[in-house]
Amino acid sequence: MIRLDSRGLPLSTTSDRAASRYREGIDLLLSAWPGASEVLDEAIAADPDFALAHAARARLYAIRTEMAKAKAWIATAEEVVARRGSERERSHVEILSLVINGQSAKALERALAHADTWPRDVLILSLPLGAFGLFAFSGMAGHDQARVDLCERHARHFDADDWWFLTYRGWSHAENGNVAHGRALTQRGYDLRRLNANAAHALSHAMYEGGAHEEAEQLIADWLPGYDRSGTLHGHIAWHSALGALERGDPEQALAIYADYIQPSVTAGMPVNVVSDTASFLWRLTAYGHTVPAGLWEAAAAYSRDHFQNAGFAFADVHMALIAAATGDKAAVEQRVKAQMDMIAAGGLAAGPVVPAICRAALAFAEEDYAACVRILEPVAAEVVRIGGSGAQREMMEDMLLLALMRSGQAVKARALLDRRLHRRPSPRDTRWHGLLAA
């Protein structure tokens, strides 16, 4: 009897329970929902030689940036799959091993080839997708379009009610500018499986990109109480709600959300989310003219000291520089920039010169040298997309340029940038800023 995964692909296990637990564990993993680890452990207990269950366990540890554990689990998966595993399963394990061992470019190449042969192997297809996927962190400028192209290439292989594929296909379209279509697809995926943090997250993004800020806040307010605080996206989804409060000009509500759900002492989020969410929220709060309560920047800095100390991860680099600049650690920013420049000179740092430029611009902004910030950031503004993440996350860099233009007396350029933003996406905040420039 052949056991199948949730998308109909054969599994090399002789245990019905192992196959059943694996199917459930993968769906929980793809939903960013608590319980995936425990369910996958049950699959392994039922069949200790089930390689894909070991590999999925490794993937969960990698998501949590627990890399020593991830490497141990994927090594076990490689050993087991060599003894008992199909061609697909060996490829599946090898690709996850490449990701976990830091060979991202090769992993992306192999994942795309794997998807051409086995498009319904959704754990592998998921790797290039999302704001933190292999495309986003590849350093390429066209990663938004690349995600759409990948989804559309394989759409025919998925059922119309595949909640996972609908969610990621919709998110990809919304991030790439086709917001109405993306939101409709994502809404369908969300309706099919509401116990899915990735769907709630993707839908809030689509609403944000469409200017539906109040709808996004209401979605999160209604949905978040049903998501356990141990969920990896709990704090990050709350971050979206805090941004909505800032859009409305309500810093008290935004700070309350930050205190309850986002700050390092209360969240169980992935380190990359905790560092970027804290840095970007506190930066926005300051830049928009509000007061950051005493100790919040210092708490963010204390948390960050245990993460991303080595330069080279572009998305983390710019947020680490924001924290250092905001806390007056100019030497840390300069040291990170020097390391980045050395990497570029040696042919590394895929995102390129835009990364040290953002770090230097953040320092200039923190020092209130707005003219210098403009000189540094304006020439590379079109390259910011290379750092990865989502449009909502990268918007902070555009805000930095916009505010630096306004504060350095370059009103004509500031109005032009605001006009483009308002045309792209209505925003109460941009409307207020436009009014200030017109006064």
Domain borders along the chain are 3-118, 308-439
pLDDT digits (tens, 9 = 90+) for 71-129: 999 999 999 999 999 999 999 999 999 999 999 999 999 999 999 999 999 999 999 99
What pLDDT is stored for residue 439 in this prediction?
A: 63
Q: Name the pLDDT band for 431 (thresholds 50, 70, 90).
A: confident
pLDDT digits (tens, 9 = 90+) for 207-221: 999 989 889 999 999
- The answer as to CATH 3.40.50 being correct for domain 308-439 is no
Residue 85 and residue 193: Cα distance in Å, rounded?
31
pLDDT cut 90: percent of the chain above it: 93
**Could you tell me which residues come within 8 angstroms of residue 50 by beta carbon, excluding any fewer than 6 positions away?**
11, 12, 13, 15, 18, 22, 43, 44, 80
Mean pLDDT throughout 193-199? 98
Number of Cβ within a 10 Å radius of residue 65: 12
- 207 neighbors 213 (Cβ within 8 angstroms): yes
pLDDT digits (tens, 9 = 90+) for 353-402: 999 999 999 999 999 999 999 999 999 999 999 999 999 999 999 999 99
What pLDDT is stored for residue 114 in this prediction?
A: 98
What pLDDT is stored for residue 398 in this prediction?
A: 96
Is the pTM here over 0.75, yes or no?
Answer: yes
Mean pLDDT throughout 167-181? 97
Same fold? 3-118, 308-439: yes
Mean pLDDT throughout 20-40? 98
What number does CATH give the domain 3-118?
1.25.40.10
Q: Name the pLDDT band for 267 (thresholds 50, 70, 90).
A: very high
Residue 276 and residue 119: Cα distance in Å, rounded?
32
What pLDDT is stored for residue 196 in this prediction?
A: 98
What pLDDT is stored for residue 425 in this prediction?
A: 81
Mean pLDDT throughout 422-428? 83
**Token reading at 385:** 């997309």
Mean pLDDT throughout 5-29? 97
Average pLDDT in the chain: 96
